Amino acid sequence: MDTPPIISIQHLCFSYDAREILHDVNLDIAEGMFAAMVGPNGGGKTTLLKLILGLLAPKHGTISVFGDTPALARRRIGYVPQAILFDPNFPASALDIVLMGRVERHFFGGYRKADRDIAMRRLHDVALEDFANHPFAELSGGQRQRVLIAQALVSEPQLILLDEPAANLDQENATVLFNLLGELNRHVTILLVSHNLSLVSKYVSHVICVNQTVDMHRIQDVQGVTDDPTGWIRLVHQQCPVINGKKSDEQIHPHHH
Amino acid sequence: MIFIQDFIEFEYLKRTVLAILLASVACGVIGSYVVARRQSYLIGAVSHSLLGGIGLARYLQIAHGLTWFSTIIGALLAALLSAVAISTLTLKNRMRQDTVLSAVWTLGVAVGISFIAITPGYSEDLTSYLFGSILLVSPEDLVVMALMTIVIAVTVWLFRNRFLALCFNEETLYLRGVSTAAVSFILHLLVALTVVLLAQVVGIVLVLVLLVIPAATAAHFAKRMAMVMLWGTVFCLFFCYGGLVVSYQADWPVGATIVELAVATYLVCACTVAVRRKLGKPHEDGE
């Protein structure tokens, strides 16, 4: 390995009270990857994102991001959550929301012209530059999602995490988004959670199956994407815990704590 | 009109008008954050705790001759202490928020009553603290109020980006590596200062209403934070000066009249917006 992995997770376990969500997770995300996490609901995909961001702490095991703890690494990460709670009447324009991605750069005072220029360019990237001064609360759900994506990009991150970014987007906008992510992937590492592998499979370099434990595959090893209702894929690698949506019995790891 | 004549003649009314201007600026600015963040529950606890500081001040003035320790300074001390207590005790859910707020609220009132009881002399009439004493602003009080407003204005100017992000979504701010606890703490202190300023105008009991209604009214049509603050200030000035003039002419209590005008205006505004919305959408589609 020439460069150390951007994200390095070793023997990680996490549980919410008594329920163990993740067990003995080992995962290395290398620089330049475009990886999609897939798996059933409750399998731990969003939890894994939150652990990488340091919003949650592992019960066992280690996680390092850019060689640091998640808390120290988070300024280099852009994060687009699946949904955020906000006041439907919040008095801010789309540009105001995007600029928040640069809030930590100046201790005192307002945003500089450079900040605004970058923010406008990111709004252009998500095809919303004409809505810069539009009230955020008056945008449609899909438009708001794109503003939040621009907010994640405006901090010029080295790693972007997205949780179901295409969930509220129509086919056309989803394609625009993934083309954008594909472009960004030239100099930014991307990790996203998706329910729709047939959509993302055209763009990603790796697929990570998450169902209490984790298995990563290169996209070329994936034996074709079926259109069945569950959306799960059949993989060459038979050890994958995500097969037809059921957890494979071979994956019962001995408890190590 | 009696008010105009008296205004020209009497110094104290000039101080009243100036005090209202200072309180309104704080009200518009900080009220906007409180309304955006939906945290008006804090205000009842902080405002009632003022009584503890006021009681302490009167006791020190009368029983110990510390004439410089005015009630506004006592109120300021109590407000800042409660803000600190509320901030630190509720951090990371150390203690339940409703417990902390109830404790601060009632302890403040109890301490105030105790101090008043042990203060020698005639029994203090609490009305002016409970319902406002804007006609009794001394020159020293005005200086303290001016300093408080300047602190609020300067702090907001310097930290406006962080405050906006905090009010929008705390996680957003947190993930940028900023201490949301610190930003929240500073905002709580500014809320405490604003509560003291507004308590001079309408008293402890009615502060909550005056702090949120001007910004809430503005939020119906203002689409950016700076505009909510501007119009919030304008509405507060309108309620206060309007209420002052009307109550002066009619010999009604000032604080109560101000609040009545504020609530009435808010209801008219809210109804107008609701009616407009219904008229603008003849077919309700589920969104």
Q: What is the CATH number of the domain that holds B180?
A: 1.10.3470.10
The confidence band for B240, taking pLDDT boundaries of 50, 70 and 90, is very high
Using CB atoms, which residue from A86, A91, A110 is nearest to B169?
Answer: A86
Residue B139 and residue A26: Cα distance in Å, rounded?
A: 69
The confidence band for B124, taking pLDDT boundaries of 50, 70 and 90, is low
Q: Where are the domains of chain A?
A: 7-89+158-251
Q: Render pLDDT for A30-55 as a digit per residue (tens, 0 to 9).
A: 999 999 998 888 889 999 999 999 99
> What pLDDT, on the 0 to 100 scale, is given for residue B170?
92
Alpha-carbon gap: B254 to the closest alpha carbon of chain A (Å): 32
Query: Mind giving me the DSSP string for A160-209?
Result: EEEESTTTT--HHHHHHHHHHHHHHTTTSEEEEE-S-HHHHTTT-SEEEE
In a domain, B262, yes or no: yes
- Quickly list H helices, chain A: 45-53, 70-73, 94-99, 113-125, 141-154, 171-184, 197-200
Q: What residue of B is the nearest CA neighbor of A161?
A: B175
Rounded to an integer, the average pLDDT of B111-115 is: 92
In a domain, B286, yes or no: no
Alpha-carbon gap: A82 to the closest alpha carbon of chain B (Å): 13
> What pLDDT, on the 0 to 100 scale, is given for residue B166?
95
Instruction: Indicate yes or no: CB of B164 within 8 angstroms of CB of A100.
Output: yes
Q: What residue of B is the nearest CA neighbor of A74?
A: B175
Q: Is B29 on the interface with A (CB under 8 A)?
A: no
Q: Is B225 on the interface with A (CB under 8 A)?
A: yes
Cα separations in angstroms, B59 against A224, B130, B226, B266: 82, 17, 42, 39
Residues in A touching B32 (Cβ below 8 Å): 91
The confidence band for A89, taking pLDDT boundaries of 50, 70 and 90, is confident
Alpha-carbon gap: A233 to the closest alpha carbon of chain B (Å): 33
Residue B220 and residue B32: Cα distance in Å, rounded?
A: 12
Residues in chain A: 257
Rounded to an integer, the average pLDDT of A140-156 is: 92
- Range with top average pLDDT, A77-86, B35-44, B131-140, B204-213: B204-213
Q: Is A135 on the interface with B (CB under 8 A)?
A: yes
Cα separations in angstroms, A200 against A50, A182, B280: 21, 10, 40
Cross-strand bridge partners of residue A189: A159
Using CB atoms, which residue from A75, A89, A100 is nearest to B172?
Answer: A100
Count of domains in chain B?
A: 1
Using CB atoms, which residue from A86, A109, A135 is nearest to B223?
Answer: A135
The confidence band for A174, taking pLDDT boundaries of 50, 70 and 90, is confident
Which DSSP symbol is given to A93?
B
Q: B283 pLDDT exceeds 90?
A: no
Using CB atoms, which residue from B169, B219, B227 is nearest to A89?
Answer: B219
Q: Which residue range forms the structural domain that includes residue B44?
A: 2-280
Q: What residue of A is the nearest CA neighbor of B175?
A: A74
Q: Render pLDDT for A103-146 as a digit per residue (tens, 0 to 9).
A: 999 989 899 999 999 999 999 999 999 999 999 999 988 899 89
Residues in B touching A84 (Cβ below 8 Å): 169, 171-172
Domain A7-89+158-251: homologous superfamily in CATH: P-loop containing nucleotide triphosphate hydrolases (3.40.50.300)
In a domain, B287, yes or no: no
Q: B264 pLDDT exceeds 60?
A: yes
The confidence band for A223, taking pLDDT boundaries of 50, 70 and 90, is low
Residues in B touching A79 (Cβ below 8 Å): 175
